[in-house]
Each structure stands twice: as structure tokens, then as C-alpha cells.
């Protein structure tokens, strides 16, 4: 599999991913890819919504971003990806902008953002993306023209979204687990 798009190299955990989430495992079955996008989006939303604001905004040891920042990155990425997909599906050979969602997160713009609003926006945009892909028909064969990468097939673009989401989901889970382990060490009690 190619490296995840938008998330720093070396943070993917493809070997540890349950196969039901790896859409590329199914080959060219677009239906499974859309299903994976929907399910991963729901899983990310559930994971983040189980945490309180303090946990969402806390930087876990060894991590670069808080969960709030990861969700902000996903929201901004989804907005960029939806715009690119709309263009690619509407007109074969459309120009696709380079992705910039990571820039604001790296600048610290989301440290104090409301995670609930970011999650809602991400979930809403993901619903729009999956609906668009479900209704794409033969436009799945279209390509976009990326300024640095050249021709970018819709299928490859969507697989990259899936891989980015998997990486983000595992990062959120890892942070959640680290924060929970830290709480257990402080209190001496395990949470149910």
C-alpha cells in the first residue's frame, strides 16, 4: 500500500489494522471502499465523542497532535477532498488542488477549538462524500490533474482518503489508550 496521505510517514500501522477496515484489501470493489469510508468515519466519531474536552485537548506523550487537532485535520481534509471529488466526478481531467489541511494544525490553530463542532462538521462532510461516491456511476473512471503528481484516478484518491482515515483512527485510539493508562496509574483504579 502507498503511504498515507497527509499524515506524516512512519505513523501508519497497516500491519495492526483489522481487515474489515482495509478497503484496499477488496481490490477494485468500490462499494466496499465507500462502506469502509462510512464505517471509519463513524468509528472516529464514536472514539472521540467518548472523551471529555480535557482529554481531547491533551497532548499525549510521544504525540505531535491532540485528538482535537486530529479531528480538525480530518474535517479540513474532508472539505478539501469533497471539493476535489466533486470536480473530478463532474469533469474528467479536472484540476485538483494540493492538500493543505495539515498546515493549520501544524501552526497550532486548533489547540482550543471545540471538538464537538469539528466532529459534527467532519461527520456531515463524510456523509456528503459517501453519498457523492455512491452516486458516481461511471465517473469512478475519471482522473484529476494534481499540480505535482499529475493524473490522479478517482479510485486512487479515495483509497488515499481511506488510508489517511485509518491512520487517524489508530492515532486517536492510541492517544485514548495512553491517556486511560495514565489515569489508571494516577488513581490505581481501572475504568470499566
| Domain containing residue 18 | 14-185
Residue 3: all three cell numbers together: 503511504
| Bridge partners, 34 (sequence order) | none
Is 8 among the domain residues? no
Decide if 88 contacts 144 (C-beta within 8 A): yes
- Identify the top-confidence range among 62-66, 100-104, 127-131: 127-131
Cα angle 9, 133, 159; round to 5 = 20
End-to-end Cα spacing for the chain: 36
Band of pLDDT at residue 184, cut at 50, 70 and 90: low
Please give the model's pTM, rounded to 2 decimal places. 0.79
The proportion of the chain whose per-residue pLDDT surpasses 70, expressed as a percent, equals: 79
Is 27 among the domain residues? yes
List of E strands, 46-97: 94-95
Domain count, the chain: 1
Is 5 among the domain residues? no
Mean pLDDT of the chain: 82
Is 106 among the domain residues? yes
If you average pLDDT over residues 103-129, what whole number do you get? 88
Could you tell me the CATH number of the domain that includes residue 45? 1.20.120.450
Residue 69: all three cell numbers together: 487537532
Decide if 26 contacts 32 (C-beta within 8 A): yes
Q: Alpha carbon 5 to chain centroid distance?
A: 9
**Does the pLDDT value for residue 188 go beyond 50?**
no
Amino acid at each position: 500500500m502507498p503511504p498515507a496521505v497527509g499524515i506524516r510517514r512512519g505513523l501508519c500501522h497497516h500491519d495492526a489494522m483489522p481487515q474489515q477496515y482495509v478497503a484496499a484489501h477488496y481490490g477494485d470493489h468500490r462499494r466496499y471502499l465507500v462502506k469502509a469510508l462510512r464505517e471509519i468515519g463513524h468509528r472516529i466519531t464514536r472514539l472521540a465523542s467518548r472523551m471529555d474536552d480535557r482529554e481531547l485537548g491533551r497532548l499525549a506523550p510521544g504525540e505531535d497532535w491532540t485528538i482535537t487537532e486530529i479531528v480538525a485535520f480530518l474535517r479540513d481534509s474532508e472539505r478539501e477532498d469533497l471539493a476535489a471529488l466533486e470536480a473530478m466526478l463532474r469533469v474528467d481531467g479536472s484540476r485538483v488542488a494540493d492538500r493543505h489541511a495539515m498546515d493549520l494544525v501544524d501552526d497550532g490553530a486548533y489547540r482550543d477549538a471545540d471538538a464537538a463542532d469539528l466532529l459534527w462538521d467532519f461527520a456531515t462532510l463524510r456523509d456528503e462524500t459517501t453519498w457523492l461516491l455512491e452516486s458516481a456511476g461511471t465517473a469512478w473512471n475519471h482522473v484529476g490533474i494534481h499540480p505535482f503528481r499529475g493524473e490522479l484516478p478517482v479510485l486512487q484518491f479515495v483509497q488515499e482518503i481511506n488510508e489517511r482515515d485509518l491512520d487517524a483512527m489508530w492515532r486517536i485510539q492510541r492517544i485514548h489508550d495512553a491517556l486511560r493508562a495514565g489515569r489508571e496509574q494516577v488513581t490505581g483504579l481501572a475504568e470499566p
